[in-house]
């Protein structure tokens, strides 16, 4: 296919697509990339970045309350201005959009605005234009999914939550994953009355059970109304807002309902199946260990493959793709040992195996767990608990899981992820001098094992 106009055409200019395109261009490839919304994808425009800014904003009400314990007097006229936050957030997002554009331009990647679809296995259409490519990379991302219930048109997803005209006084959030718990904390911190519904017995499925239970306890202490094993059956507009029917027969009143019940690959109507690309039941592009689809020259990375929907993972997959195709160095993206942070309130961080996973995979394990009040609140008196947990494979002494709920959990977990990637043992953790006084030092000072569960 030497007659092709480009060596690589990338569909989607999110974090993964942009990184893959830049790296491929640096290796001498002729690259074009198409995006039909905003550069940076979900992370920059309706995900990680605006979410973290909103989390920062939501913390101030507690910080103001805690200030008195440290000798500060805060005026009584403080108030939260939703419009000011939106304007400041939008300005930062526009700046980042520009950064992405500059990075692509400086790398020599051709930027094309518009929706790209496959006409045939080697031809992409963007509007009236047709571009042939030797290799095609699908990095189309994902979108929020919503159930089909009566009145669902009155609900919003996280996409719309970043652009609300008015801040809701009463918010109901449906879902039990990281987006749901993060927005519960955001809306609550900004002053809304928040109810969160989850259909299962305990939210944050897939995380360590101790983490899940403690987070639920801490959110309830903050005043968030958590209701497990509950779901909405209908939404209708009322004179005072929205009237919500719950599957237990009860009703709720709200100004806003946010659904955070999962995301689905954004692959519909891209022409993939017509080009011979095999898709999974949820629309995910089925790929091998090297991100290659069922068509040998078409690859896919990021959320549209439904492997791990995390920005750093998409970036790693993009780099591995470029090395495989354009550097002649077949590289598999490593999906093991990926650390995760959830910016709930309090935040949580984890890397490695949960206790349940470790018991299943490693056999005998040792568990170390510590719970304490954060030092900051020894003066404020706030009822908050930090929990840290280490899971150790007994036969090798290797640390296979680290879990934390508490301030700076994400920052601390990033360092622990390096240790686990290097195969650190509990003895090496123990031999490491802690930094005092920090919460992080607890990870290198835990010595007392949690008793083994009794056999049943």
d(CA 24, CA 108): 10
pLDDT at 281: 87
pLDDT at 311: 97
**Chain Cα centroid distance, residue 329:** 30
Backbone φ and ψ of 82, nearest 5°: -60, -40
Type and span of the H or E element at 385 = none
pLDDT digits (tens, 9 = 90+) for 53-87: 999 999 999 999 999 999 999 887 889 999 999 99
pLDDT at 2: 58
Nearest to 406 by CA among 384, 425, 391, 423: 384
d(CA 391, CA 359): 10
Give the domain ranges of the chain: 6-143+264-326, 152-261, 340-444
Type and span of the H or E element at 150 = none
Distances (CA, A) of 318 to 13, 29, 108, 156, 325: 12, 14, 17, 31, 11
Q: What is the mean pLDDT of each run of 10 residues along the chain (456 residues)?
A: 86 98 98 97 97 98 95 88 98 98 98 97 97 98 96 98 97 98 98 98 98 98 98 96 97 98 96 97 96 98 96 98 98 97 98 98 97 96 97 98 98 98 98 98 97 78
The tokens of 69 are what? Answer: 């314990």
- Upper half-sphere CA count for residue 69 (Cβ side, 13 Å): 13
pLDDT digits (tens, 9 = 90+) for 128-160: 999 999 999 999 999 999 999 999 999 999 999
Topology of domain 340-444, CATH: Enolase-like; domain 1 (3.30.390)
The tokens of 210 are what? Answer: 């101790």
pLDDT at 149: 97
pLDDT at 367: 98
d(CA 303, CA 289): 15
The tokens of 362 are what? Answer: 């490693």
d(CA 283, CA 272): 10
Say which of 122, 154, 335, 436 is annotated catalytic: 436
* Largest separation between any pair of C-alpha atoms in the chain: 72
CATH number for region 6-143+264-326 = 3.50.50.60
SS3 152: helix
d(CA 241, CA 256): 8
pLDDT at 1: 42
pLDDT digits (tens, 9 = 90+) for 359-394: 999 999 999 999 999 999 999 999 999 999 999 999
Q: Is 436 a catalytic residue?
A: yes
d(CA 278, CA 40): 26
Running DSSP on this structure, what letter comes out for residue 435? P
Nearest to 70 by CA among 421, 378, 402: 378
CATH number for region 152-261 = 3.50.50.60
Fold match between domain 6-143+264-326 and domain 152-261: yes
Nearby residues of 136 by Cβ (< 8 Å), 6 or more positions away: 8, 9, 10, 11, 118, 121, 122, 124, 297, 298, 299
- DSSP output for 182-234: HHHHHHHHTT-EEEEEESSSSSSTTS-HHHHHHHHHHHHHHT-EEEES--EEE
Whether the CB-CB separation of 118 and 107 falls below 8 Å is answered with no
């Amino acid at each position: 296919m030497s007659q092709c106009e480009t060596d690589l055409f990338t569909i989607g200019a999110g974090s993964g697509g942009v990184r893959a395109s830049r790296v491929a261009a640096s290796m001498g490839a002729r690259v074009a990339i198409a995006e039909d919304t905003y550069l940076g994808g979900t992370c920059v425009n309706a995900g990680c970045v605006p979410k973290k800014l909103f989390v920062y904003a939501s913390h101030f009400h507690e910080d103001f309350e805690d200030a008195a314990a440290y000798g500060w007097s805060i005026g009584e006229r403080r108030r939260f201005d939703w419009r000011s936050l939106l304007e400041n957030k939008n300005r930062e997002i526009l700046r980042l959009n520009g950064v992405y554009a500059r990075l692509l331009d400086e790398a020599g990647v051709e930027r094309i605005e518009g929706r790209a679809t496959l006409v045939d296995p080697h031809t992409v259409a963007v509007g009236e234009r047709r571009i042939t490519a030797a290799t095609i990379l699908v990095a189309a991302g994902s979108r929020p999914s919503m159930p089909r219930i009566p009145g669902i048109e009155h609900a919003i997803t996280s996409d719309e939550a970043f652009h609300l005209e008015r801040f809701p006084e009463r918010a109901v959030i449906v879902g039990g994953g990281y987006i749901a718990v993060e927005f519960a904390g955001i809306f609550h911190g900004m002053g809304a009355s928040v109810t969160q519904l989850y259909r299962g017995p305990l939210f944050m499925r897939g995380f360590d059970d101790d983490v899940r239970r403690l987070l639920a306890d801490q959110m309830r202490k903050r005043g968030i109304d958590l209701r497990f094993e509950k779901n909405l059956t209908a939404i209708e507009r009322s004179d005072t807002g929205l009237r919500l029917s719950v599957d237990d027969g009860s009703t709720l009143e709200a100004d806003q309902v946010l659904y955070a019940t999962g995301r689905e690959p954004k692959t519909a109507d891209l022409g993939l199946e017509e080009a011979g690309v095999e898709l999974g039941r949820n629309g995910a592009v089925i790929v091998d260990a090297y991100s290659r689809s069922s068509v040998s020259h078409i690859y896919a990375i990021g959320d549209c493959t439904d492997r791990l929907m995390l920005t750093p993972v998409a970036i790693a997959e993009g780099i591995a793709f470029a090395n495989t195709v354009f550097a002649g160095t077949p590289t598999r993206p490593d999906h093991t040992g990926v650390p995760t942070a959830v910016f709930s309130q309090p935040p949580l961080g984890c890397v490695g195996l949960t206790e349940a996973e470790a018991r299943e995979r490693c056999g005998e394990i040792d568990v170390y767990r510590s719970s304490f009040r954060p030092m900051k609140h020894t003066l404020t008196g706030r009822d908050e608990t930090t929990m840290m947990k280490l899971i150790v494979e007994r036969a090798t002494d290797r640390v296979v899981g680290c879990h934390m709920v508490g301030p700076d959990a994400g920052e601390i977990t990033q360092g622990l992820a390096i240790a686990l990637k290097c195969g650190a043992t509990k003895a090496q953790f123990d031999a490491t001098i802690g930094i005092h006084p920090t919460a992080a030092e607890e990870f290198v000072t835990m010595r007392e094992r949690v008793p083994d569960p009794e056999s049943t």
